[in-house]
């Protein structure tokens, strides 16, 4: 494998390229018009313009990406996450053109990409499932019958996607029709498939996922768990590894279940098995993400492994160099997704120009980003600016380092989730590990952040005034 094309942009494209270059392999970047001067384009050995700014005219053009890859004699394609990373047709097309798709086979993507098919595949392993119906529902009366059998509240979910899209919580029969209509419409818009299913809504859930790694020789291991319960609009914002909730016994049981899920679809490469856990520590299979996760750096910190390197080695048909008993973790890691969002206004996107951009540095602080000062955050793509990751010998140390890193991360020109991240890290419920996926609704108070900002502005003004007065008081003598 001498040359790899990265079919993505921004921080993940740059992060993947760094490992590829370290392995002595050439890199090829793709870019839309607005990304022509982006860091991932400059960093790559070669770069090719793929289309106009909207993703459906550039980063989602699988056939064009393959065409360009063939012209440049590329050996393999790494999809990163998002865009085409979980597109079975793209994965198959890459393979059909005698290139390596650095990810699972297209069959595994197809099975795990459909939540109903995924549940069917893992049934035989007796892995706990959230009570619900294992078939798509479009009829309101049928939905009402299912919901009555399961018991309210229920969750209506898109069968073909994730990221909180096509998902509605229903608390009573009178809301079924309207919420189904919304879920189906959103699923059609986001995934081109309006299929939805219904399952019991787990109250006070924790969202815990297991990183798995599998080769082409029948070896599959898990690399422990990540806690992803701090979310807004069903999307993760703060992740950590390991979870403060799991006992060694529960970690072992859930890890074994994750490995069984991977084996159920003949998985290869890096992937993630997601579970929900209720207040009584019962866990339920949620879904499998057949790609590298946004939050993979926290796993890398606690295990010392480079997951992109492991992906490439598996793609080169190498055997895993370790078994389950060899894999250990040490310390604790925390990640904050830094979005260009206004956390004081329902986390709405707040794209614009990075007027000032200064990153935090120091031991055990890692920043994965794809922007520089003066660049625009485009409206066309996900508004994530970067991922800020910290590591400590224990959870408390990782949290305190995260607060320090946030304080030393300067971004001006757009609103970001930095202040929200600090709010989380300083909140007693988070520090004590006593939280669930409803953290934002239960504890987040925008007035607190507004008061903090007001005090910071007052302090900054006071310091500026004192500096001015000091400067004016200095005796100036003529030359």
Instruction: Give the residue numbers annotated as catalytic, written as ranges.
Output: 291
CA distances from 282 to 32, 226, 245, 258, 292 (A): 45, 17, 12, 15, 26
Q: Which pair of tokens denotes residue 374?
A: 């003066």
Q: List CB contacts of 56: < 8 A, sequence separation 6 or more.
A: none
Q: Provide the 8-state DSSP code for 126.
A: T
Strands 76-78 and 3-6: parallel
Task: Give the three-state DSSP class for 336.
Answer: strand
Secondary structure (DSSP) of 20-83: HHHTT-EEEEEEEGGGTT-HHHHHSSEEEEEE-SSGGGTTT-HHHHHHHHHHTT-SEEE--SST
CA 363 to chain centre: 24
Strands 341-342 and 348-349: antiparallel
The secondary structure element, H or E, covering residue 161 is: none
Q: Which pair of tokens denotes residue 450?
A: 């507004």
- How far apart are the two ends of the chain, measured CA to CA in Å? 70
Question: Please, what sign has the CA dihedral across residues 392, 394, 395, 400?
Answer: negative
Strands ordered across the beta sheet of 167-170: 167-170, 154-158, 196-200
Q: Provide the 8-state DSSP code for 75.
A: S
Question: Please, what sign has the CA dihedral across residues 49, 53, 54, 59?
Answer: positive
Q: Which pair of tokens denotes residue 422?
A: 């600090």
User: What is the CB neighbour count within 10 angstroms for residue 18?
Assistant: 14
Secondary structure (DSSP) of 218-233: S-EEEEEEEEEEEEET
User: What is the CB neighbour count within 10 angstroms for residue 248?
Assistant: 7
Question: Please, what sign has the CA dihedral across residues 148, 151, 157, 160?
Answer: negative
Q: Which pair of tokens denotes residue 472?
A: 């004016």
Task: Give the whole-angstrom CA distance, residue 437 versus residue 228.
Answer: 8
Q: At what angle do helices 296-303 and 307-315 cross, to 10 degrees?
A: 90
């Amino acid at each position: 494998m001498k040359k790899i094309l990265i079919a993505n942009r921004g921080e993940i494209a740059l992060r993947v390229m760094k490992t590829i270059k370290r392995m002595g392999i050439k890199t090829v970047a793709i870019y839309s018009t607005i990304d022509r001067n982006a860091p991932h384009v400059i960093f790559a050995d070669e770069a090719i313009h793929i289309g106009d700014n909207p993703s459906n005219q550039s980063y989602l053009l699988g056939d064009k990406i393959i065409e360009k890859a063939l012209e440049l004699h590329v050996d393999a394609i790494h999809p990163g996450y998002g865009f085409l990373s979980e597109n079975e047709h793209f994965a198959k097309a890459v393979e059909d053109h005698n290139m390596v798709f650095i990810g699972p086979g297209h069959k595994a993507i197809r099975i795990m990409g459909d939540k109903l098919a995924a549940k069917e595949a893992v049934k035989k392993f007796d892995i706990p499932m959230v009570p619900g119906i294992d078939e798509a529902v479009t009829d309101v009366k049928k939905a009402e019958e299912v919901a009555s059998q399961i018991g309210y509240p229920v969750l209506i979910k898109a069968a073909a996607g994730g990221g909180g899209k096509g998902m509605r919580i229903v608390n009573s029969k009178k809301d079924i029709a309207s919420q189904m209509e919304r879920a189906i419409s959103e699923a059609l818009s986001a995934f081109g498939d309006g299929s939805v299913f219904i399952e019991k809504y787990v109250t006070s859930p924790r969202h815990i996922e297991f990183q798995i790694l599998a080769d082409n020789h029948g070896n599959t291991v898990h690399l422990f768990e990540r806690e992803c319960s701090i979310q807004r609009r069903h999307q993760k914002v703060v992740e950590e590894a390991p979870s403060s909730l799991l006992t060694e016994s529960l970690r072992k049981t859930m890890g074994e279940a994750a490995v069984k899920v991977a084996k159920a679809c003949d998985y290869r490469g890096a992937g993630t098995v997601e579970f929900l856990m209720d207040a009584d520590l019962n866990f339920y299979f949620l879904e499998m993400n057949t790609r590298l996760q946004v939050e993979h750096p926290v796993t890398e910190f606690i295990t010392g492994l480079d997951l992109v390197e492991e992906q490439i080695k598996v793609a080169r048909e190498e055997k895993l160099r370790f078994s389950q008993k060899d894999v250990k973790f040490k310390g604790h890691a925390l990640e904050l997704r830094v979005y260009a969002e206004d956390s004081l206004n329902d986390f709405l996107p707040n794209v614009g120009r990075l007027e000032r951009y200064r990153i935090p540095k120091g031991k055990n602080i890692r920043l994965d980003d794809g922007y520089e000062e003066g660049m625009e955050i485009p409206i066309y793509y996900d508004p994530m600016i970067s991922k800020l990751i910290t590591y400590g010998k224990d959870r408390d140390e990782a949290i305190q380092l995260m607060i320090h890193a946030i304080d030393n991360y300067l971004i001006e020109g757009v609103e970001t989730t930095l202040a929200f991240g600090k709010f989380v890290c300083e909140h007693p419920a988070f520090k004590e590990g006593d939280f669930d996926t409803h953290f934002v609704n239960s504890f987040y108070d925008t007035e607190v952040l507004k008061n903090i900002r007001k005090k910071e502005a007052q302090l900054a003004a006071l310091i500026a005034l004192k500096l001015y007065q000091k400067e004016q008081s200095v005796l100036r003598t003529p030359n």
